[in-house]
Copies of this chain bind each other. A is one copy, B any other.
């Protein structure tokens, strides 16, 4: 039995948990998938159910990850935009307000025709450069940064004093309706000012995008023009202690998608970019496993986040979800083969359930399994929503997981003398 602190690995299958599926004779994808390695973690370790936020509350992925990483999501979730900005490599200041954006297509009446302008905007960088740096007459002191991410996705940052994330979206969330006017969500002058800036940005960028040669090329090839920027999820940097200050662990994040990278960056994780880790169904999970094993050399804690399970769930792709779970299991196997299980604490869970039948996040508890030489094992021998009902962890909250892992890793911080 180790007395030295253990290394820690946490594997999150995004939206991996599900509900009984009729086509699977009321089993869940996790129950049907062949997962010998996750089952081994359950069999040799301790399992249970986890309410990621609170019982019954469907979590967004960003607050879910905040909670699972030990940060109270209700106090620390400050909107999606800042995490998206950090995730694509922008550095934010404390006063910046950032938005998650889509390039989209509108007609002459500002009615949204395509919320993603065809999804594949190869001209994205060129278009982004044309509107980044735009000067707003309503708020000339505010600097406008605009950066293309991948596909139709982009990030807008307002940099300046007296800005607020309390503004509504311009993205109506569906086609056939007009672009929304941003509204301040409080009476605060900074919110009023930010809404004004966002509305002016929307109009001015539309004029530039409409006339841009790249869009003329798109139209001539029969592609929808990326002639508007739709903004949502206004966010600011959360004011939090880094994970190193809070838990005294040097931490690294291996994730495919910008949002999760951004959450981890906000918490002071080192972000390890793995070639081939796409966040999609084709993501190279073997490469992620190898990167994690390597990162263990000079980090105490590695988070591995896999998005493909959630992507399959949102699209209602049952077979792909099962296959993705099996690929995560192979990744877990590769890690179990390479590490010394006597000196590591490995946990596997999901950030929320995304049932195939719902195609969206729900508030069900998710299964969690922890393997460490220090746990008292229960009698559960497989990893699933149903098997975990009988787990020895009982029913915990998302914010409990990190302290529990730290404790089993001999890194717990005593409260009181």
Interface residues, chain A, with chain B CB atoms under 8 Å away? 1-3, 19-22, 28, 49, 53-64, 73-74, 77, 79-80, 100, 232-233, 355, 357-358, 360-364, 374-378, 385-386, 389-397, 400, 402-408, 410, 412-417
A133 to B372, CA, bound (A): 53
From known contacts A410-B358, A416-B60, infer whether A1 and B28 are also in contact, taking CB-CB under 8 Å: no
A39 to B31, CA, bound (A): 26
**Across the interface, do A58 and B417 meet the contact criterion of CB distance under 8 Å?**
no
A361 to B391, CA, bound (A): 24
From known contacts A385-B376, A396-B395, infer whether A416 and B80 are also in contact, taking CB-CB under 8 Å: yes
**Across the interface, do B363 and A417 meet the contact criterion of CB distance under 8 Å?**
no
A376: chain B residues at CB < 8 Å are 19-20, 28, 364, 385-386, 389
**Across the interface, do B232 and A407 meet the contact criterion of CB distance under 8 Å?**
no
Q: How far is the CB of A174 from chain B (nearest CB, A)?
A: 15
**Across the interface, do A412 and B58 meet the contact criterion of CB distance under 8 Å?**
yes
Q: How far is the CB of A270 from chain B (nearest CB, A)?
A: 24
**Across the interface, do B396 and A363 meet the contact criterion of CB distance under 8 Å?**
no
**Across the interface, do B363 and A407 meet the contact criterion of CB distance under 8 Å?**
yes
A376 to B3, CA, bound (A): 39
Main SS class of interface, A: loop
A-B contact pairs, 15 of them (CB 8 A): A1-B21, A20-B376, A28-B376, A49-B392, A55-B400, A56-B404, A57-B407, A58-B407, A58-B412, A58-B415, A80-B416, A232-B417, A358-B410, A378-B389, A394-B395
A56 to B46, CA, bound (A): 14
A74 to B416, CA, bound (A): 10
Q: How far is the CB of A7 from chain B (nearest CB, A)?
A: 17
How many identical subunits does the complex contain?
A: 2
A402 to B57, CA, bound (A): 10
Q: How far is the CB of A271 from chain B (nearest CB, A)?
A: 21
A382 to B256, CA, bound (A): 45
**Across the interface, do B417 and A80 meet the contact criterion of CB distance under 8 Å?**
yes
**Across the interface, do A417 and B56 meet the contact criterion of CB distance under 8 Å?**
no
Q: A56-B402, A60-B415 are in contact. List 13 more A-B contacts (CB 8 A).
A: A49-B394, A56-B404, A58-B412, A58-B415, A59-B415, A77-B415, A232-B417, A233-B417, A363-B404, A376-B389, A389-B392, A390-B390, A390-B392
Q: How far is the CB of A180 from chain B (nearest CB, A)?
A: 15
With most chain B CB atoms within 10 A of its CB, the pick from A63, A79, A361, A417 is: A417
A403: chain B residues at CB < 8 Å are 54-57, 363
**Across the interface, do A417 and B55 meet the contact criterion of CB distance under 8 Å?**
no
A406: chain B residues at CB < 8 Å are 56, 363
List the B residue with the shortest CB-CB distance to A380.
B389
